[in-house]
Amino acid sequence: GLDKDSTKVAGQRLLAARRMVERGVRFVQVFPSAYGVWDSHQNLKTNHTRLCETIDLPIAGLIMDLKQRGLMDDVLVVFCTEFGRTPGLELRGGGKTGRDHHPNGFTIWMAGAGIKKGHVHGATDELGYHALGEGHYVTDLHATTLHLLGIDNKKLEIPGRKRLEIDQGKPIVEILS
């Protein structure tokens, strides 16, 4: 993705992240595009198609790089957001249609250290509006990540800060290898 204008920025950022990991940096967070650009409420097909074109090749390159260097067993890659989009179109101002924030059904993906390969977990109702079964929350994602780092989410304390993971989050054991 470094040779295409549309993927160059994300490619450079993910390459820098991989190099940081190789040099021992334990936690790296990458925003593959300008902050907030995925938070588009209208023209989703156009906007998200364009955004996916900027990240698909670079993220595939990162995974390939990590595999080639034998780092996938030691590195956890999390590609996520804190909410999805409502399944139905909503009428917006000016006659435009769009979708709003939707916390009840959304998709993330994880790869690498401690994650089952090729596993799909969870489902929504036929409209994509509500999670079926028990469902999971962002606090469960946090607890899962902490678990993979060898940290008990129930015991981790940050002075002066109440954490929801302590009371509500639990590792999603079904996705662990």
Mean pLDDT for 12-28 is 95
Give the span between the Cα atoms of 14 and 60, in whole angstroms.
10
Q: Where are the alpha helices (DSSP H) in the chain?
A: 8-22, 44-68, 138-148, 164-167
- Residues 128-173: tens digit of each pLDDT: 888 888 888 888 898 999 999 988 888 877 787 776 656 678 999 9
More confident residue, 176 or 49: 176
Digit-coded pLDDT (tens) for 51-73:
889 999 999 999 999 999 999 99
With 90 as the cut, is the pLDDT of residue 102 above it?
Answer: no
Q: Which two tokens stand for residue 65?
A: 């790089």
Question: What is the per-residue pLDDT across 32-44, written as a single tens digit (0 to 9) for each?
Answer: 776 567 777 777 7
Compute the distance between CA of residue 169 and CA of residue 165 in angstroms, rounded to an integer: 4
